[in-house]
Amino acid sequence: MFEKWIYRIVIVLFLTQVLVPFVGLVQFSIQGAGTTPTLSSFQQLIVNPLFSGSLLNSLFLALCTVILSIGIFTPPVWHAYLYAPKVLRVIEAVSFVPFVVPAVVLALAYVQFFSSGLLNLVGTPYLLPFAFALLGMPFYVQVLLNRLRHTDALSLHEAAQSLGATGVYAFMKIQLPLLRSGMINGGLLIFTISIGEFTITQLTTGGSYNTLPLYLMIAFTNNPLEGSAMAVLTLVLAVMGVVAALFFASDKRRRVKGERA
């Protein structure tokens, strides 16, 4: 009985820690300094073309980053897992570097390298997908490796080749379906990181390319109510994305159980 109460107290403390800041944010966005609730800040935000433009820019950058990450990180991780275990250990170790190094250091490295000559891309958005992909590399690589190890992809690949399947056929019919869920889950993490990244965007573009985090900072500075409303809408979008991902995963599990039954 005592352990059950301890468990409930821990859950309540956890939910309080998570929800209280968001509840305060929502309350401020609809009430502000006054006493009468109003949705005027949300109405002003929705009709503001700067908000819609920054949202579209962030979504576009995040989508480009996901595609780039899948194309750059998936082939070497998959190949090293199947054919070069020693190289895989190097890839896995290197993939943790962006996780340890602060985002501001990565941004400054990009600024120094791409600030002169033919590669003078500082101040443009073209660097952002590469920088975001590098920042999210540890998460994507680990999700993909966990998928490969969980499904024992090496044994399945060897079994397919022992039955006469070519490398290309084994990849298309066996490996790619196994990797699909890992790429989707890793892509969702990359997408989330990209759409909310502020430091790298600010330092590499100098604020010349308006994204959702940059506009959020400007909105909070100029109009706290509008900034709060924007933060609430961003939170709602994030929750909708998480719910959609969970629904996709649960629906897939139900289909798999139905096929097995």
Tokens for 236, please give them: 């709602």
Q: Give me the helix-helix angle, 224-260 and 2-31, nearest 10°.
A: 130
pLDDT band at 40, cuts 50/70/90? low
With the CA atoms of 175, 70, 236 and 202 taken in that order, what torsion angle do they form, in degrees rounded to the nearest 10? Answer: 160
Length of the chain: 261
Instruction: Check pLDDT > 70 for residue 253.
Output: no
Instruction: Check pLDDT > 60 for residue 259.
Output: no
Instruction: Check pLDDT > 80 for residue 207.
Output: no
Instruction: Check pLDDT > 70 for residue 34.
Output: no
**What mean pLDDT do residues 234-245 have?**
70
What pLDDT is recorded for position 81? Answer: 87
User: Could you give the residue ranges of the DSSP H alpha helices within the chain?
Assistant: 2-31, 40-46, 49-83, 85-95, 97-100, 103-113, 128-150, 153-162, 167-170, 176-196, 199-205, 212-222, 224-260
Instruction: Check pLDDT > 60 for residue 181.
Output: yes
Amino acid at 62: A
Instruction: Check pLDDT > 70 for residue 255.
Output: no
**What mean pLDDT do residues 239-260 have?**
62
pLDDT band at 162, cuts 50/70/90? confident
**Which of these ranges, 12-16, 106-110, 155-159, 198-202, has the smallest mean pLDDT?**
155-159
Percentage of the chain with pLDDT > 70? 85
Mean pLDDT in the chain?
80
**What mean pLDDT do residues 194-218 have?**
84
What pLDDT is recorded for position 38? Answer: 66
**What mean pLDDT do residues 119-142 have?**
88
**Which of these ranges, 58-67, 124-133, 235-244, has the smallest mean pLDDT?**
235-244
What pLDDT is recorded for position 35? Answer: 58
58 vs 231: CA distance, rounded Å: 14
Instruction: Please give the domain boundaries of the chain with CATH numbers for all domains.
Output: 52-209 (1.10.3720.10)
pTM: 0.78
**What mean pLDDT do residues 151-171 have?**
76
Tokens for 66, please give them: 């996901």
pLDDT band at 73, cuts 50/70/90? very high
